Structure 1
Amino acid sequence: MSKEYKDDDEKIREDLTPKTWNEIRSNDSWAIFKIMSEFVNGFESMARIGPCVSIFGSARTKGDHKYYLLAEKIAEKISKAGYGVITGGGPGIMEAGNKGAAKGMSPSVGLNIDLPFEQHFNQYIDSDKNLNFDYFFVRKVMFVKYSQGFVVMPGGFGTLDEMFEAITLIQTKKIAKFPIILVGTEFWCGLIDWIKNVLIEKYFNASPEDMNLIKIVDTEDEVLEVIDTFYKKYNLSPNF
């Protein structure tokens, strides 16, 4: 478990307090074994499950919100088509993803993270597919390594982090060119316009071709069509 602090000031003071070599060696060196154990457990567990489609989105989305209901429909459709579903394992959109997947025939996986707020396991994850992490970077490796595609629902900083991580790894050819599907035109259009008009056209900090890595859709049928089209192109089939 991560250490809990009374407030931000306490954490800042501890981080800035000079430490002896023995303290550094004791704390940092032994952390390597905790990190290693999370990788080993994650790899062994996910290898038995196999690749899935990841669904990202906000933990704050309520159960009666249109994007919660849409995420549930998307996950159900994906699962019934034979694709496993991975979420962050928590509430909100993550819960909707696991809930929808539970109605299908494919595995429903949760990769949870130990946080001081918002995050807790949802009840719709398969009991033997519930993984917990202390380290964000280990958890993100599991998402990327075992994802056949990325469905990105509206979310906050965490969702953006996961989305841009996937885009960057595909752009730099560190992972295969799996589909990245943004759901909700009204939510994503401002960001996409900024990428096109500012990031690419004004500052040349990305290539116009990079926009081809992203698909924007609004329905569960469109999501499944993008994924199925990708698999047919490469003569692949779902794992389940």
Structure 2
Amino acid sequence: MTTKKTLKLTPGKMIYHNADFIDSDVGRPIRILSEFMGPNQIFAQEGIKNTIVFFGSARTLPMSEIKKRLKNCKNKKEAMRLKRLSLVAEYYDAAHELGAKLGRWANKQHKGFALMTGGGPGIMEAGNRGANDVGTSSIGLNIKLPFEQHPNPYIDDELNLQFRYFFIRKYWFMKMARALVVFPGGFGTLDEMFELLTLIQTKKYGDRMPVVIYGGKYWNKIINWDYLADTGMIDKEDLKLFHICDTVEDAYNIITTALEKTME
């Protein structure tokens, strides 16, 4: 049996300045409203109007880092983990390269573009790193988790946001998104990708935007896209909501061509 925590308010002090109140159950609506409204002010101040969003695993490491760690690794369990990660290491480097290429393109548009990720390590770090390399605004929407997630060092200080609630964080992923790239990932990446595809499919998201699913040899093993259509679970037309790409150049061309058409 748990006992309810008693709130202690400081006499004469504004209730909204009381940390115990804000962190309590009754303070939840205020926390939600803060996460919903606060980023809007920050993005407006920084001139951010459009984003290109990268999704992908927090666990992915570049091959150079995996080789470095394996060289000095004496723990068999850790060595096995690193060898498994080597199967997808190429995607870190691809995300880094694509982030830089899209960043250079965005810099020429003068349309308030930024590259946005979930703010953590892995693919998120790679995307932010690419944008940071070329001076493009680099946003990280971090989430409070019991493991894995910590802000990567390539996010602009003023655009390093911390969230408590997944659903508000997802709202901000979509709010200014003009393109999406989904790199290999696990449950979190699948969740984000399918929610966004559902919003586009059901026309809840107003603008049709380019969606690139990067890494056919990964995604085609874990999702049988054609079978979804063959069994009537989705329409054949729904397979046109996204593009599966295996090269940085193809992903870049699909995204920039689509975005440039919308700006004509």
Question: Which category of TM-score, normalised to the shorter sequence, fits these structures?
Answer: 0.7 to 0.9
The normalised TM-score by structure 1 is 0.83
Confirm or deny that 1:110 pairs with 2:136.
no
Distance 1:191 1:209 in 2: 21
Counterpart AA for 1:179: P
Please report the RMSD computed on the Cα atoms of aligned residues, expressed in angstroms.
Answer: 2.0
Counterpart AA for 1:80: R
Count of residues in Structure 1 that have an aligned counterpart in Structure 2: 213
Q: How does 1:210-229 map to 2 (within 5 A)?
A: 210-229=238-257
Q: 3-state DSSP class of the match of 2:157?
A: coil
Q: 3-state DSSP class of the match of 2:158?
A: coil
Task: State the Cα distance separating 1:208 from its structure 2 match.
Answer: 0.7
* Preserved contact between residue 112 and residue 121 of structure 1 (Cα < 8 Å): yes
Q: Which string of whole-angstrom CA distances, capped at 9 and with x for unpartnered residues, describes residues 147-191 of structure 1? A: 111100000011111111110111111111111101111011134
Of 186, 196, 212 in structure 1, the residue corresponding to residue 217 of structure 2 is 186
Distance 2:238 2:183 in 1: 20
Of 121, 124, 140 in structure 2, the residue corresponding to residue 91 of structure 1 is 121
* Preserved contact between residue 78 and residue 84 of structure 1 (Cα < 8 Å): no
Of 228, 232, 238 in structure 1, the residue corresponding to residue 260 of structure 2 is 232
Distance 2:49 2:263 in 1: 18
Task: State the Cα distance separating 1:105 from its structure 2 match.
Answer: 3.2
Q: 3-state DSSP class of the match of 1:221?
A: helix
Distance 1:46 1:159 in 2: 24
Confirm or deny that 1:32 pairs with 2:29.
yes
Q: 3-state DSSP class of the match of 2:243?
A: strand
Moved over 3 A (4+): 26-29
Confirm or deny that 1:41 pairs with 2:38.
yes
Task: Give the structure 1 partner of residue 157 of structure 2.
Answer: 127
* Preserved contact between residue 59 and residue 90 of structure 1 (Cα < 8 Å): yes
Task: State the Cα distance separating 1:234 from its structure 2 match.
Answer: 2.4
Confirm or deny that 1:71 pairs with 2:95.
yes
Task: State the Cα distance separating 1:233 from its structure 2 match.
Answer: 2.6
Q: 3-state DSSP class of the match of 1:117?
A: coil
Task: Give the structure 1 partner of residue 86 of structure 2.
Answer: none
Distance 1:107 1:50 in 2: 11
Which consecutive unaligned segments of at least 5 residues does structure 1 have? Answer: 1-12, 20-25
Q: 3-state DSSP class of the match of 1:61?
A: coil
What percentage of aligned pairs have identical amino acids? 44
Greater CA radius of gyration, 1 or 2? Answer: 2
Confirm or deny that 1:208 pairs with 2:205.
no
Task: Give the structure 2 partner of residue 152 of structure 1.
Answer: 182
* Preserved contact between residue 178 and residue 259 of structure 2 (Cα < 8 Å): no
Distance 1:224 1:195 in 2: 23
